[in-house]
């Protein structure tokens, strides 16, 4: 099949979504499809700009070029999936969350824009219309599928895929530190983990890795470590090479991942592959699809004291930590997460 994978691009910004699209292309090509990537820039600097880009995307027809039809379009993100094609499959990484759950949570920048409410409603209408016209509608997690049901009344199925490091992650020793790999961002809530560390009673440490969303995020994070006198307990390694990340996963006591309403979160799946328990929170979204409290990790309220208790519990009971980690790995294996399954479903072969 001739397939285009359409995605959104913010120039000079690259993260999990870009990696995800790149991997999808590779997997399609590996199965004999002619696959090409089409990206459009998306600038959400203002409510006005969002509509400009959405309208621009919706004007692009991808049904064919130079007399050759394109058999299938796979849309991943807003507003790229607004591009037009008669055979449109959607594998939703996420919608423009500031118009949906982040608006409801009072965390949307649109709320500060006089046209924000209107733009939010226009985005909702556009999404509903464009996504309801898709021949296949998948989300990359149950959490994302639930949002689509809640805000657009559209039914979709979660379609899980292996995380990028799936083939390289390995279990190792049970160390004396917790590992928190993620970009430094308010939505990932590294700040909450620092607050928790200031309340721990044991000698537990947390090693953070990941680049900050902005220089200011990085400065604020470092400043908070200093303000709470946590230099010994909180270690930030910044961006780390893959090999170092694999070692950190392998030799950690467990993985901390308490984001706010995460779409999916590779971190959870990678921790499970590394046989590590995951400490997450009741409002973290994606991780809760895989982690059950007391079975594959510890799920606590998004509260510093509750998190501190979970950290201490794992530090003081290594047997529990190892056991939860093994159960997490078993859970991952039960899910039969594979690229074969993903490609078959997206192309209609399954």
Partner 1 sequence: MITVDWVSPLRPDTTDIAEYTVRVEKALSGCFSLNLITNENAGDLGTYRFDAGPFYNIGNDVRFHGGILSACQKISGIVIAHDFRIQNLLIARLKAEHDDWESAYQALMEQHYGREGEAAARHFIAGKTSLAQVSETFPGIEVAAANALCVITHNSGLVEELANRTGLYCFALPLPFPVCEYLPERQEAGEGPNLLIFGYLGENRGLDVVCELLREYPHIRLHIAGQIGTPRLRDMVEAMKAAGHSIVDHGFVTESELDRLVRDSDLVVNLRNPSMGEVSGSQLRIFAQGGLSVVCATGWYASLPDEAVLKVRPERMKQELGAIVERLRQDRRAFDAMRHAGRQFVATTHGLDHFATCFRALYEALPEALSHGRRVLLAKHMAKTYERAGAGDAISSETLFHKASLLL
Could you tell me which of 179, 160, 30, 34 has the C-alpha nearest to residue 91? Answer: 160
Of residues 178-217, those binding partner 1 (CB under 8 A): none
Q: What is the CA radius of gyration of the chain?
A: 21
Q: Does 118 bind partner 1 (CB under 8 A)?
A: yes
Query: 144: exposed, middle or buried (C-beta count within 10 Å: 0-12, 13-18, 19+)?
Result: buried
> Binding residue for partner 1 (CB under 8 A) from 50, 90, 126, 145?
126
How many other β-carbons are positioned within 10 Å of the β-carbon of residue 104? 11
3-class SS shares of the chain: helix, strand, coil, % to 5: 45, 20, 35
What is the C-alpha to C-alpha distance for residues 128 and 28, in angstroms, rounded to an integer? 27
Q: How far is the CB of 336 from partner 1 (least distance, A)?
A: 38
Q: Minimum CB separation from partner 1 for residue 130, in Å?
A: 8
Q: How far is the CB of 110 from partner 1 (least distance, A)?
A: 10
111 binds partner 1 (CB under 8 A): yes
- Residue 55 or residue 349: which is nearer to partner 1 going by CB? 55
| Residue 29 engages partner 1 in binding (rule: CB under 8 A) | no
Among the listed ranges 113-121, 178-186, 230-238, 247-255, the one in contact with partner 1 (CB under 8 A) is 113-121
Listed ranges 111-119, 151-159, 268-276, 333-341: which one lies at the site for partner 1 (CB under 8 A): 111-119
State the Cα–Cα distance between residues 298 and 277, nearest whole angstrom: 7
Query: In the numeric block, which tokens belong to residue 122?
Result: 């226009």
- 64's enclosing H/E stretch is strand 64-65
Q: List the one residue from 34, 121, 214, 282 that touches partner 1 (CB under 8 A).
A: 121
Q: Which is nearer to partner 1, 41 or 238 (CB)?
A: 41
Which residues bind to partner 1, rule: CB under 8 A?
Answer: 51-52, 54-55, 58, 82, 111-112, 114-118, 121-122, 125-126, 129-130
């Amino acid at each position: 099949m001739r397939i285009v994978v359409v995605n959104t691009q913010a120039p000079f910004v690259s993260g999990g979504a870009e990696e995800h699209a790149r991997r999808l292309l590779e997997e399609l090509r590996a199965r004999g499809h002619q696959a090409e990537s089409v990206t459009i820039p998306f600038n959400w600097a203002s409510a006005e700009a969002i509509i400009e880009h959405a309208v621009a995307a919706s004007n692009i027809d991808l049904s064919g070029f130079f007399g050759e039809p394109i058999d299938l379009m796979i849309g991943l993100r807003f507003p790229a999936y607004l591009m037009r094609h008669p055979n449109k499959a959607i594998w939703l990484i996420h919608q423009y969350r500031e118009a949906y759950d982040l608006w409801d949570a009072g965390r949307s920048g649109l709320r500060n824009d006089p046209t924000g409410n209107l733009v939010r409603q226009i985005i909702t209408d556009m999404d509903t219309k464009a996504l309801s016209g898709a021949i296949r509608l998948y989300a990359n997690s149950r959490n994302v599928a639930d949002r689509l049901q809640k805000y657009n009344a559209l039914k979709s199925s979660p379609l899980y895929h292996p995380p990028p490091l799936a083939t390289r992650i390995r279990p190792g020793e049970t160390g004396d530190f917790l590992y928190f790999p993620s970009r430094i961002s308010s939505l990932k809530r590294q700040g909450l983990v620092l607050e928790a560390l200031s309340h721990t009673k044991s000698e537990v440490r947390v090693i953070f890795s990941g680049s900050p969303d902005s220089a200011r995020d990085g400065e604020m994070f470092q400043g908070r470590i200093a303000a709470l006198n946590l230099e010994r307990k909180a270690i930030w390694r910044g961006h780390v090479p893959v090999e170092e990340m694999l070692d950190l996963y392998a030799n950690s006591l467990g993985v901390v991942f308490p984001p706010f309403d995460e779409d999916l979160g590779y971190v959870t799946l990678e921790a499970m592959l590394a046989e590590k328990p995951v400490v997450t929170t009741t409002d973290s979204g994606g991780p809760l699809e895989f982690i059950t409290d007391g079975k594959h990790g510890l799920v606590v309220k998004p509260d510093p004291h509750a998190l501190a208790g979970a950290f201490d519990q794992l530090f003081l009971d290594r047997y529990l930590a190892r056991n939860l980690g093994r159960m997490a790995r078993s859970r991952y294996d039960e899910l039969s997460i594979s690229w074969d399954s993903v490609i078959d479903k997206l192309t209609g072969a399954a």
